[in-house]
Amino acid sequence: MKRICIVGAGAVGGLLGTRLATSGRAQVTAIARGATLAALRDHGWRLEATAGSLQAPARVTDDPAALGPQDLVIIAVKGPALGAVARGIAPLLGADTIVMPAMNGVPWWFCDGAAGFPPGPLESVDPGGVVARAIPVGQVVGCVVHASCTTPAPGVVRQVMGNGLIVGEARGGRSARAQDIADLLQHAGFAVTHSADVRRDIWYKLWGNMTMNPVSALTGATSDRILDDPLVHDFCSAAMREAAAIGARLGCPIAETPEDRQAITARLGAFKTSMLQDVEAGRAIELDALVGAVHEIGRRLEMATPFIDALFGLTRLFGRERGLYPDPPPAAPC
């Protein structure tokens, strides 16, 4: 039986943890803190889904050193917490441990080895290369989550829509270990695709939500109202065209037009993006992984991205004024 550790038992982590724990094919442990730790200890894993509710006893701790090396570590935290997580999970990582981040946006390893990309970490998502040093890219299997879920109370997950996962080697190609993970997740009830190019899948999902999230945070508007405003719609399309050009340079081309992708979003009706939900709850916004990284990649490739720059700058300032995004470090003394 595989030993799996879920680091971050919030919405996505709780969804994965509950389904894996109830599947009977893995020994699942969560790393959690505060109210979530207490809820998992007292009530176990709890998932509310349209097909019915699931519940299972939970193994949970706030100390990775108490667990030892795992077969699979799933990181399901918000981007701002990733650096601290990377520094703290060393006890979970053995030579053969697989690390699978199930997170939004551009991961720290995304440009590692990409043709034509300058060497060095993506400072927007991995300042100083802390995460890359702690988690070797050779141990990473990428994951794209196509599921929407919330946490109405600590330790409780409500699955709203979607049940899809895409997994694949960070360095590309298919592998037996990625297939093992896909099979495990399939047995746990997910619709799983084993991708030979998960970077392309990551970029495609990012391309679809990199504008809707920050624009909703700035305006407080649901998706339908964003798409119904012609000026805002055109602004989002322009930013998406810039991101598509960057993707093509990185080997992640997109065949659709922005309007094609927006038509898919429109069919989902009026919904609040995850970033708008974070703003309303007073939580830090995941701006760097969704927009800041795209802005940085464009700069390092020497590509002009005026619409992405404007979107990043405005949302960054919005977040700083509300304490939801860090202020810049103080200037060094002369």
Tell me the catalytic residues.
205
In three state form, how does the secondary structure of the chain look? Answer: CEEEEEECCCHHHHHHHHHHHHHCCEEEEEECCHHHHHHHHHHCEEEEECCEEEEECCEEECCHHHCCCCCEEEECCCHHHHHHHHHHCHHHCCCCCEEEECCCCCCCCCCCCCCCCCCCCCCCCCHHHHHHHHCCHHHEEEEEEEEEEEEEECCEEEEEEEEEEEEEECCCCCCHHHHHHHHHHHHCCCEEEECCCHHHHHHHHHHHHCCHHHHHHHHCCCHHHHHHCHHHHHHHHHHHHHHHHHHHHCCCCCCCCHHHHHHHHHCCCCCCCHHHHHHHHCCCCCHHHHHHHHHHHHHHCCCCCHHHHHHHHHHHHHHHHCCCCCCCCCCCCC
